[in-house]
């Protein structure tokens, strides 16, 4: 950057249709402690009216840094005017006190001399956006650097996990070039958390109470409080959860709070990984580098073929939920298994019990083998009779069709399918009377599922999925860090997230 005061590290992007709404939201952000806002004048019904908004705002808040953008619709903005009028608006914004302007490369290439004069008075950010994917970025940067600027903003769209590492790699390759690097969309989310620690000039965040201006933006409050982006160093250890979908996972809340409690330079991210993208994800892990990750739906069985070492129990189960790197090798285990028998064992004598297990996926496999190893008689049911029979044969259990459960009674019922999970909260595998006095639902979001509501109404004892979730998460934390898990901190974080 130039010799002017550096811009703050988090920019709140404000794109609203009227001056009144823009100023109202800007007031809220400043009241929340934010000190760097972007006014997207192209979002206004009359972009030129935004100059007055700038004057009013900076009159009230002279210590707040203001970035102004007026992107043309040809470049995925909303401004319909010609380049000359666009530049007049940006020039007026600088005269009104804007600290920085963002000009898309397509405009910047045609106005280099004019921008040089404007740059004498404000930071110039030259930006390039790709809304289709993440192409090779070296040619993009070479093109951009032909325009003298204070920073170069490269924004792609994340379609696969490695897109995030590809974007961040540009900064590593050019450590002395001031850049803002982001991949939009859920797959690109890790860039929003990690870019500053990797050397970006700043990152973007959404406002607290209205929509952001790009897919994948989250609020500054989330970036600072949950992901602690202000505290991360470039050597921060990266962990995460691999899932599809992943957006509503509780794991980032729980593990990030645990890292904070132990004062670790580490962060835990949600990684959206589709079933065909596991190999690509592991390539990204090498590049970031990721030290370990949780595995959940639908990857617990598929992940095995990508691991170097799998512990015997997880191998027998055929499902892994915890992966970490040691001595250059990816290792896998299953912390779900013990997290099933531990809460059940507190309530019944497993070696004298018959347990009905619902499901045949990765979580069910862990439960079946753990229960059998504890001496329980396991009976398995589910929606797909063929899969249930094959699974039961594999772990020495009895297979029962759902319609054959009438009249049977079990010491405990363990539900291990996604039925009833948010947002499908009204779903329940059972229609009538539950065939057990103790009901354990592995689903933890919502806290009280439809199955648990019915169990309570029937007078059954219940074990909520959160108990299992926390037990397996604590074990994961200890495997990754070698430290004792702060169990009460993790439970508090989980409850806060679920009860929001």
The residues annotated with a catalytic role in the active site are: 300
Cβ atoms of 176 and 151 closer than 8 Å:
no
* Cβ atoms < 10 Å from Cβ of 256: 21
Cβ-proximal residues to 137 (8 Å cutoff; 6+ apart), any chain: 154, 156, 166, 167, 170
Q: Which two tokens stand for residue 499?
A: 């009860």
Q: Which two tokens stand for residue 378?
A: 């396991």
CA distance 425 to 451: 10
Please list, residue by residue across 132-148, b when 16 or more beta carbons sit within 10 angstroms of its beta carbon and e when fewer do.
eebeebeebbeebeebe
CA distance 288 to 293: 13
How, if at all, do strands 322-326 and 377-381 pair? unpaired
User: On the CB side of 437, how many CA atoms lie within 13 Å of its CA?
Assistant: 5
Positive or negative, the CA dihedral 188, 194, 198, 202 is positive
For residue 345, the SS3 value is helix
CA distance 371 to 359: 14
CA distance 51 to 37: 15
- To 10 degrees, what angle do helices 83-95 and 112-119 make? 10
For residue 54, report the phi and psi dihedrals to the nearest 5 degrees.
-60, -45
CA distance 418 to 427: 9
CA distance 350 to 113: 79
Q: What is the DSSP string of 367-401?
A: HHHHHHHTT-EEEEE-S-HHHHHHHHHHHT-EE--
Cβ atoms of 187 and 240 closer than 8 Å:
no
């Amino acid at each position: 950057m130039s010799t002017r005061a550096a811009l703050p590290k988090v920019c709140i992007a404000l794109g609203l249709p009227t001056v009144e709404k823009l100023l109202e939201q800007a007031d809220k952000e400043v009241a929340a402690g934010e000190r760097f806002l972007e006014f997207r004048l192209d979002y206004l019904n009359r972009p030129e009216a935004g100059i007055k908004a700038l004057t009013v705002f900076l009159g009230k808040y002279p210590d707040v840094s203001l970035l102004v953008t007026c992107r043309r619709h040809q470049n995925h903005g909303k401004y319909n005017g010609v380049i000359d009028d666009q530049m007049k608006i940006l020039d007026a914004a600088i005269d009104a006190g804007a600290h920085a302007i963002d000009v898309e490369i397509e405009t910047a290439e045609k106005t280099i001399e004019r921008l040089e004069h404007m740059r004498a008075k404000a930071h110039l950010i030259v930006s390039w956006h790709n809304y289709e994917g993440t192409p090779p970025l070296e040619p993009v940067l070479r093109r951009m650097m032909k325009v003298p600027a204070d920073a170069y903003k490269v924004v792609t769209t994340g379609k696969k996990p490695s897109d995030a590492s590809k974007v961040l790699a540009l900064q590593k390759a050019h450590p002395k070039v001031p850049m803002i690097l982001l991949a939009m969309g859920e797959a690109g989310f890790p860039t929003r958390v990690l870019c500053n620690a990797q050397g970006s000039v700043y990152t973007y965040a959404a406002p607290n109470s209205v929509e952001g201006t790009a897919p994948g933006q989250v609020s500054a409050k989330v970036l600072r409080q949950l992901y602690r982006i202000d505290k991360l160093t470039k050597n921060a250890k990266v962990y995460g959860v691999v899932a599809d979908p992943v957006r509503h996972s509780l794991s980032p809340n729980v593990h990030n709070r645990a890292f904070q409690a132990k004062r670790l330079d580490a962060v835990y991210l949600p990684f959206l990984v589709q079933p065909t993208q596991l190999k690509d994800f592991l390539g990204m892990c090498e590049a970031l580098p990721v030290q370990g990750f949780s595995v959940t739906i639908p990857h617990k069985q598929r992940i095995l073929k990508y691991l170097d070492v799998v512990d015997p129990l997880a191998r027998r189960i055929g499902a892994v939920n915890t992966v970490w790197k040691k001595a250059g090798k990816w290792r896998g285990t299953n912390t779900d298994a013990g997290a099933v028998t531990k809460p059940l064992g507190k309530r019944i004598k497993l070696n004298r019990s018959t347990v009905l297990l619902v499901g045949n996926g990765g979580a069910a496999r862990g439960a079946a083998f753990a229960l059998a190893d504890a001496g329980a008689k396991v009976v398995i049911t589910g929606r797909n009779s063929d899969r249930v029979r094959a699974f039961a044969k594999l772990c020495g259990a009895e297979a029962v069709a759902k319609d054959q459960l009438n009249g049977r009674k079990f010491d405990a019922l363990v539900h291990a399918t996604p039925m009833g999970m948010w947002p499908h909260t009204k779903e329940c595998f059972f229609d009538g009377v539950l065939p057990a006095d103790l009901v354990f639902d592995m689903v933890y979001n919502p806290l009280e599922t439809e199955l648990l509501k019915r169990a309570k109404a029937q007078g059954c004892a219940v074990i909520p999925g959160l108990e299992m979730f926390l037990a397996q998460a604590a074990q994961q934390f200890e495997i990754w860090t070698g430290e004792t898990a702060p169990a009460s901190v993790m439970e508090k974080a989980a409850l806060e997230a679920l009860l929001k």
